[in-house]
Structure 1
Amino acid sequence: MTTSQISPPKYLQEEPSEEWKKFFSTLPKEKGWIESTIYNYQGFWSSSRSIQGVIAFQQQFQAQDSDIILVTSPKSGSVWLKSLLFALVNRKNNPISQQDHPLLVKNPHDLVLFLELDLYADDQVPDFSLFTSPRLMATHVPFASLPKSVQNSRTKLVYLCRNPKDAFISMWQFANNLRLDNHKDTNSIEEMFDHFCKGVSIYGPFWDHVLGYWKESKENPDKVFFLMYEEIKKQPKIYLKRLAEFLKCPFSKEEENCGVVDEILRLCSFGNLRNLEVNVNGKMLTGIANKNFFRQGEVGDWKNYFTVEMNDKLNHIIEQKFQRCGLKFLYI
């Protein structure tokens, strides 16, 4: 089989039905980060395939009060938080010392599925009977576009926020890696930085995404737990224990004395996950190589790419967008 005969991975299969084509023709569109085009639906930008999944998620999903949904803006630490949540919530059934622990043999994205990108993608009907309780899932969808059953239930939402400079660099690098994997030209940092500043980023504008969950966390702290990537990196033990308390599965004194908290952090560390065989050579069902989800995971990598002008421009936008809400980004 020649290269031209190989079907593109699912995230690049951009040929919707005639009905969907008609729908997308009514939406604002811009050049995509990974795909050729992204569309604006309900105020946020995403690919045609993702938006179809979002709509199915909105129309069909019925939340349960015991559900736990991890939420991130893309490239804000999803893999790390998925691994921490999975290890934390399932530590009774899957002890951290288990030699064949799921996190040792599967990518975190295969253990905590995205609702709109995995469970409801490609006209699938999810079989939630296969899920144990609490159901652990993920999404990139802005708060305002979540299904009403999620917004109105006691479903727990865990939101991870990363500073916009590192989030941008990680998204740009990730998108270009996927484009290279599929023999497509890469996008320049200048062009995509301009896109990002205009709010045209995947599931963006970035600031709208963050502010939606930040405000909800202040108004409803029992429902939304707002985490900062940089703070977890600095004090992982403190925030893992706070997360356990929020999810009503706190660590016992015995667990703390036995080092369970430290063992979870070791298992889920960026270095440990990145070097596992499944993440070095494995692939997701969508066709994405797992290694693409492990670049650096460091704070402040933006300094290696930003010009003085880029830094000044984004600082101005950050100040403008976040000055009245009380949210401060650290280490930028």
Structure 2
Amino acid sequence: MDPKELPSILREDKISEETKKLISSLLSHTDSQGQKLCQYQGCWYYYNTLQGVLNFQRGFKPQDTDIILASYPKSGTTWLKALTVALLERSKNHSSLSDDEHPLLYDNPHGIVPCLEMDLYHESSSPNLSKFSAHRRLFSTHMPLQAMHETLKHSPCKIVYVCRNVKDTLVSWWFFLCSILKIEQSRGVLESLHESFCKGIIYYGPFWEHLLSYWRASLEDPEHVLFMRYEEMKAEPRDQIKRLADFLGCPFTKQEEDSGVVDEVLDLCSLRNLSSLEVNKTGSRNDVDHKFYFRKGEVGDSKNYLTPEMENKIDMIIKEKLQGSGLIF
């Protein structure tokens, strides 16, 4: 693929001379698709993403009421964004979720909740954030928590992290990467991604370090960091969305629960509904078609693609890396 046709996260066109100099001093790696990665503060980034991380670290000024939705890529990010938007919109307007002007009907969840390092701070350390509500700004990130620690360490802003079983995450990333690179979903690409996941040398990896940074913070500071699991959200959607609403400070009233508002939110944000909306069937963001953000959303779908040997290797690594943390998959 022509470099100019690559999605913005894979290009190298927004890198400053200062960052190029920094990159030359970092550990680097070229993946099996020919994309260049470098390791900064223990995490692997594509070069353009690293520029956004550096800009964020230099320029972001948190507000006390900020909400940051965090995740490893392909872990339920789109769903978490939609749910949070629906909860805050309902709380803000006290209006029906079927309102014809609801933002989820007119924009993709990634357009409503931009990513700090890939959208807002991609090109500048001082972007214009005036369009965000003065009451509660809503952002997202794929950065591990240590990348934000210095910037947020004195802030009471809230962080919601969603994690997903690494095997399903891997398969979802395989489909997504092949889609945005316009390449065949071949076994060879899946096997190379599997190897990269297991080594930890992959975009935003190692996966287990990413996971543990938020898990530990949620145990140490549960008032400000909420740790959610995709599998629990699928198995107990009503309980988990109420837990999210409580954490965000906009709990459901008994009247809302009795009148079915919880189910309305879940229905509005369901994969079935979101993927059927015209705004999510057309258009793109950062050179990625909206439709690529919606696939199956199933738990355990990786069994249809990974061999038992591939599954066992991941299981062994995750068990070893999470040992003693209290986090179990």
Q: Is the TM value for this pair above 0.5? A: yes
Matches within 5 A, 1:90-239: 90-91=89-90, 92-93=92-93, 95-123=96-124, 125-132=126-133, 133-180=135-182, 188-239=189-240
Given the superposition, is the C-alpha separation of residues 34 and 219 from structure 1 closer, same or farther in structure 2, using an over 3 Å criterion?
A: farther
The residue type equivalent to 1:90 in the other structure is E
Q: How far, CA to CA, are the matches of 1:184 and 1:307 in structure 2? A: 16
Q: Look up the match of 1:319.
A: 319
- 1:9 CA drift (Å): 4.0
Aligned to 2:52: 53
Q: How does 1:262-281 map to 2 (within 5 A)?
A: 262-281=263-282
Secondary structure of the residue aligned to 1:241 is helix
1:127–1:322 distance in 2 versus 1, CA, 3 Å: same
SS at match of 2:296: coil
Q: Which amino acid aligns with 1:234?
A: A
Q: Compared with structure 1, are the counterparts of its residues 60 and 187 closer, same or farther at alpha carbon in structure 2 (3 Å cutoff)?
A: farther
C-alpha root-mean-square deviation of aligned residues, in Å?
Answer: 2.2
Residue deviations 1:61-108 (CA, integer Å, cap 9, x gap): 111111111000010000000000011012133641201311012100
Following the alignment from structure 2 to structure 1, what is the Cα–Cα distance between the partners of residues 265 and 296?
20
* CA 10–142 in structure 1, closer or farther in 2 if over 3 Å, else same: same
Shift of 1:231: 0.2
Query: How much does 1:129 deviate?
Result: 2.3
User: How many angstroms apart in 2 are the aligned matches of 1:125 and 1:34?
Assistant: 33
Number of equivalenced pairs: 325
Q: Which residue of 2 aligns with 1:283?
A: 284
In the superposition, relative to structure 1, how do residues 246 and 23 fare at CA in structure 2: closer, same or farther (>3 Å)? same
CA contact 2:30–2:37 (8 Å) conserved in 1: yes
The 3 A distance-change label for structure 1 pair 95 and 61 is farther
Q: How has the CA–CA distance of structure 1 residues 184 and 267 changed in structure 2, closer, same or farther, with 3 Å as cutoff?
A: closer
Deviation, structure 1 residue 280: 1.1
Tell me the secondary structure at the aligned position of residue 238 of structure 1: helix
Q: Which amino acid letter does the alignment assign opposite residue 158 of structure 1?
A: V
Write the letter of the residue equivalent to 2:212.
L
Aligned-partner Cα distance in 2 for 1:290–1:210: 26
Distance 1:36 1:158 in 2: 30
Per-residue deviation, 1:259: 1.5
Q: Are 2:163 and 2:211, in contact at CA under 8 Å, matched by a contact in 1?
A: yes
Distance 1:152 1:230, change over 3 A: same
Report how far residue 126 of structure 1 moved.
Answer: 2.3
Question: By how many angstroms is 1:152 displaced?
Answer: 2.3
Could you say what secondary structure the match of 2:153 adopts?
A: helix
- Per-residue CA deviation, residues 137-160 of structure 1 (Å, 9 max, x unaligned), is 111111111052423211111010
SS at match of 1:302: helix
CA shift digits 1:96-134 (9 cap, x unpaired): 120131101210000001111111012263222221121
**3-state secondary structure, aligned to 2:287:** coil
Q: Is the 8 A contact 1:96 1:263 kept in 2?
A: yes
SS in 2 for 1:222: coil
TM-score (norm 1): 0.92
Task: Provide the secondary structure at the position in 1 that maps to 2:161.
Answer: strand
Name whichever of 8-17 and 307-316 sits farther off: 8-17
Unaligned runs of 5+ in 1: none
